[in-house]
Amino acid sequence: MPDSLPAMSKHEEGTSEVALTVNGVAHRLRIDPRVTLLDAVRDELGLTGSKKGCDQGQCGACTMLVAGRRINSCLTLAVMHEGDEITTIEGLGTPGALHPMQAAFVAHDGLQCGYCTPGQICSAVGAVDEIRRGVPSHVSRDLDCISHSDEEIRERMSGNLCRCAAYPNIVAAVRDAMEAQS
Ligand code: FES
Ligand code: FES
């Protein structure tokens, strides 16, 4: 891959260059600076696992991990992530070697239509890491400790909506994956 892109043509004026590492692969893009990270990953890189549900930060379908922290990728501009390491559902596992969280979702039937599932799984991976690192939630602040309760999981996963209401199975999957890591 070249170090920089060729000189801008007329129609590229007003665009910006950004370097992203997505699922371990380095990319250098020239894009409209108003393009969200979600649209850049889906439309420019062709990684369509991350879904666009609401495009306004309300559903969590677009959740990705940036340096291991979960974010709503529809709410952030791609150009703000120069040099960042980004993980999408495509980077978590493969069909033959699922990530433990993906395997737990399969084992517990944590999905129905599957539209929310990539975001649910990326969010769950981030949530379990937050618990491991001792990052408090509203539940743990009230209890004055971080629990592994279903209430704790529901609170941490509350930014990820599921129109099919697979919530009980999602909670069971996250609990299993969390307990397997602890
Ligand atoms: S598409 Fe990003 S939160 Fe809904
Ligand atoms: S499985 Fe259908 S929206 Fe969640």
124 close to ligand 2 (CB < 6 Angstrom) = no
pTM of the model: 0.92
Write the pLDDT tens digit of every residue in 66-114.
999 999 999 999 999 999 999 999 999 999 999 999 999 999 999 999 9
The pLDDT value recorded for residue 139 is 86
CA of 165, closest atom in ligand 2? 4
- Report yes or no: 26 and 1 within 8 Å, Cβ to Cβ: yes
The pLDDT value recorded for residue 140 is 78
Write the pLDDT tens digit of every residue in 101-149.
999 999 999 999 999 999 999 999 999 999 999 998 888 776 667 778 9
112 close to ligand 2 (CB < 6 Angstrom) = yes
2, pLDDT greater than 90:
no
109 close to ligand 2 (CB < 6 Angstrom) = no
For residue 164, give the ligand nearest its CA: 2
Cα Rg for the chain, rounded, in angstroms? 18
Rounded Cα–Cα distance for residues 92 and 72 (Å): 17
DSSP string, 59-88: S-TTEEEETTEEEEGGGSBGGGGTT-EEE-
The pLDDT value recorded for residue 144 is 67
For residue 42, give the ligand nearest its CA: 1
3, pLDDT greater than 80:
no
154 close to ligand 1 (CB < 6 Angstrom) = no
For residue 163, give the ligand nearest its CA: 2
Average pLDDT over the chain, rounded to an integer: 93
CB-facing half-sphere around the CA of 130: CA atoms within 13 A:
23
